Amino acid sequence: MKADAGGARRGRLTTPHGAIETPVFMPVGTQAAVKGLRHEALEELGARIILGNTYHLYLRPGHELIRKLGGLHKFMSWDRAILTDSGGYQVFSLSELRKITNEGVRFRSHLDGSEHLLTPEKAAEIQLALGADIAMVLDECIETPSPREIAQAAVKRTTAWAKRARAFFLQQALRNGELSQWQFGIVQGATFTDLRRESTQQLLEIDFSGYAVGGLAVGEPHAVTCEMAAVATELLPREKPRYLMGVGRPEQLADYVALGIDMMDCVLPTRAARHACVYTSEGRVIIKNARYAQDQRPLDPVCSCSVCKRYTRAYLRHLFAAGELTAAILATHHNIHFYLDFMRQIREAIEFGNLAKFSSEVQARYAAGPA
């Protein structure tokens, strides 16, 4: 890792499925697919790592089936890196009748109502079976805002679960003679500075391959997200990767990078695309708006993606109005291109030592909005 004066770092993660230049944005492929994009398109766009979702893949089609079919990479025909989350966030947000004990979290499937127990060991086992390049530990996710006692108890449980998850993961990996998979711990602590610090220190003692900061960007102000992330990055070792989970908006990405964050993920570029919202160099464009009905320009005049090279705003607006599938596919392609190209510009700015200037220019353009 190479750091510049502001805390931003350029680095490279080497996984069994290729090297990843950091800081990196990871498109989300919840159910072994990035919604609206073929893998050929993701490769063309330069995606080196995508996310898979443990909760969804465990419930359907099942990790044992995926293991039998040669692991997630082979199953979905994706040769580049995959990070899987622990499933915790979805258990806490999607499932019914969840009950948390020290053992784990008991829940009913949102698909068929069947009952399941997700423990730290089970979450690790599923991710080992999937063959994720980077696996996440099970953490306790709480509502935001939550009272301090709740946040404190969640930190305590998250640390206890992290210890068990690490022990299980290392034991299984040694047994399989397969130490190439990485496991990351997740810092919790809601919006309490001292709890964030405590959580970070406790995870450092367990010694993970990398560290994530979780439970943020869930409704608190951006400045608070940054403050909490900074508490963690100040304590985390320089030589290990740091992942801020579930962020963010384009105009915020450089702020996180400036705090020393290396990895980010968010459903925003794909989800927004399906709702006719595209990100451009000048800000958000709601392409459904009537003002674009006769607009012959591409989505973003300075974008080099294959959608902008070929199609007009007027055509995209028509496709959305007509409810054509192609609308979502084209908008998603552009948005993922925008995010990945934006990260390339951030990496370049770090190398030239002008990330702060780059960031303030982007924020000014986004505040002004598209012409």
Which residues are identified as catalytic? 85, 265
Contact flag: residue 313 with Zn ion (CB under 5 A):
no
Residue 305 within binding range of Zn ion, rule CB under 5 A:
yes
Name residue 248's amino acid.
Answer: G
How do 115-118 and 105-108 pair as beta strands? antiparallel
Tell me how far apart the alpha carbons of residues 69 and 235 are, in angstroms, rounded to a whole number: 41
- For residue 2, the 8-state DSSP code is E
Report the 10 Å Cβ neighbour count for 112. 8
- 45 lies in the binding site for Zn ion (CB under 5 A): no
Q: Tell me if residue 12 falls in helix, strand or coil.
A: strand
Q: Which stretch binds Zn ion (CB under 5 A): 199-207, 224-232, 262-270, 301-309?
A: 301-309
CB of 303 to Zn ion, least distance (A): 3
Residue 303 binding Zn ion, by CB under 5 A: yes
CB of 78 to Zn ion, least distance (A): 23
- Count of chain residues binding Zn ion (CB under 5 A): 5
* Closest CB to Zn ion among residues 9, 313: 313
Owner of token pair 């607009």: 295
> Least Å distance between CB 339 and Zn ion?
11
What are the angstrom distances between the C-alpha of 12 and each of 15, 23, 117, 180, 281?
A: 10, 8, 36, 16, 26
- Does 287 sit near Zn ion (CB under 5 A)? no
Work out whether 37 is an interface residue with Zn ion (CB under 5 A).
Answer: no
CB of 304 to Zn ion, least distance (A): 7
Output 130 or 307, the one with its CB closest to Zn ion.
307
Q: Pattern of binders to Zn ion over 328-357, x per CB under 5 A?
A: ------x-----------------------
Candidate ranges 124-132, 140-148, 231-239, 306-314; the one touching Zn ion (CB under 5 A): 306-314
- What is the Cα 79 distance to its own chain's centre? 19
Q: Given the complex with Zn ion, which of 68 and 310 has the nearer CB atom?
A: 310
Nearer to Zn ion, 262 or 341 (CB): 341
Beta bridge partners of 260: none
Instruction: Tell me: cis bond preceding 120? Omega within 30 of 0 counts.
Output: no
DSSP bridge pairs for 182? 134
3-class secondary structure for 99-140?
Answer: EECCCCEEEECCCCCCEEEECHHHHHHHHHHHCCCEEECCCC
308: contact with Zn ion by CB under 5 A: yes
Between 122 and 313, whose beta carbon lies closer to Zn ion? Answer: 313
Q: Which residues contact 226 (CB under 8 A, 6 or more apart)?
A: 255, 256, 259
CB of 313 to Zn ion, least distance (A): 11
**Which residues in this chain contact Zn ion in the complex, by CB under 5 A?**
303, 305, 307-308, 334
